[in-house]
Structure 1
């Protein structure tokens, strides 16, 4: 006679215990792998990449009635991976310009790339916007800034990155980069005149980076 707590069959009990041991072994293995990854990650201490806005070439920057802004820039941005043993995947990276917290250009995509340890990448994307509506108060402020000769702009990069340590690749992290640029419109002597009335401004500004 069998009781309620019996397995019913001897072989069934053995299979049940075997499955439990296999499941426990898998859990222990996963836990060990996670601990190793965390230890490696803590030892290596990944540092976020650094960005520098090197220059900006202004091809067009004007306001037409009623409050429509047209601008065309080409900027040069360098990115450096300061880590010795960690690579960075830039899966997605868009750049655009803002004026006093308002986006004034479309987003320009930078091709996905991989940056190995201590490598420097340089990009020179065009950032432009044609007849972009701006708030009336921003149009007024822009007119005032043109009068003083200095235009405060902010070039932003938004994207997604992953870290690579050996064969391990992390999950996706959001990347936010802000590069301030003060364009001197008071005198073209502040920049380098180019063809078609374009002016190139050497900036070399360190950007703030959040990951």
Structure 2
């Protein structure tokens, strides 16, 4: 028994193949366009600046080794790109001393930054009776007695790039801002009520990764 020839069936298969090839070709063209736009624009990392730190409390107890800190920081971020926007999401900011976190993380608001736009955040950072390792307690006590403590203000979170209506995948952003607090030199700080405010204008290191 021979198989009957059906021209309509073959025409249908050819149509499906052509549609599939057209869709694949369109996707390839779109991907190439996106890659070309991305390569031409080549986004630059955002720039962060730690403007100031206001110390409301910074008390270290020796038995047990506990640190209580209460500070407010002013952090500025700038998008240097002229054609690319930036979405910031789930940014946590906290203070650390010699890689030990000494405050709870504070969540910064979700933010969109337009072309060459500025954003300023002024969060409070709190750490009440935070246990400090004995070897860190000795170093911190010596720094306080010496009048100079170097803190690290850290920001961890995610960002996305925006080109026109296209939005990139999510990237991780890590920001490290050294904060040199001079407890002995009142010239570098000024009284704000019961607190001391220090103008720093310290450039931060920014790392972007997948």
Relative to the length of structure 2, the TM-score reads 0.94
Q: In structure 1, the residue corresponding to 2:82 is in which secondary structure?
A: coil
> Which position in structure 1 is the counterpart of 2:183?
185
Structure 2 residue 11 is matched with structure 1 residue 22: no
Moved over 3 A (4+): none
Question: Comparing 100-109 with 14-23, which one deviates more in the overlay?
Answer: 14-23
Q: In structure 2, the residue corresponding to 1:57 is in which secondary structure?
A: strand
Q: Any stretches of 5+ residues in structure 1 without a counterpart?
A: none
Q: In structure 2, the residue corresponding to 1:46 is in which secondary structure?
A: coil
**Cα deviation, residue 20, structure 1:** 1.6
Structure 2 residue 58 is matched with structure 1 residue 61: yes
Residue correspondence of structure 1 range 84-99 to structure 2 within 5 A? 84-99=82-97
Question: What is the CA–CA distance in structure 2 between the aligned matches of 1:174 and 1:28, rounded to whole Å?
Answer: 32
**Cα deviation, residue 14, structure 1:** 2.3
Q: In structure 2, the residue corresponding to 1:85 is in which secondary structure?
A: coil
> Which position in structure 2 is the counterpart of 1:102?
100
**Cα deviation, residue 91, structure 1:** 1.8
Q: In structure 2, the residue corresponding to 1:97 is in which secondary structure?
A: strand
Alignment: residue pair count: 207
Q: Any stretches of 5+ residues in structure 2 without a counterpart?
A: none
Relative to the length of structure 1, the TM-score reads 0.94
Question: What is the CA–CA distance in structure 1 between the aligned matches of 2:188 and 2:137, rounded to whole Å?
Answer: 24
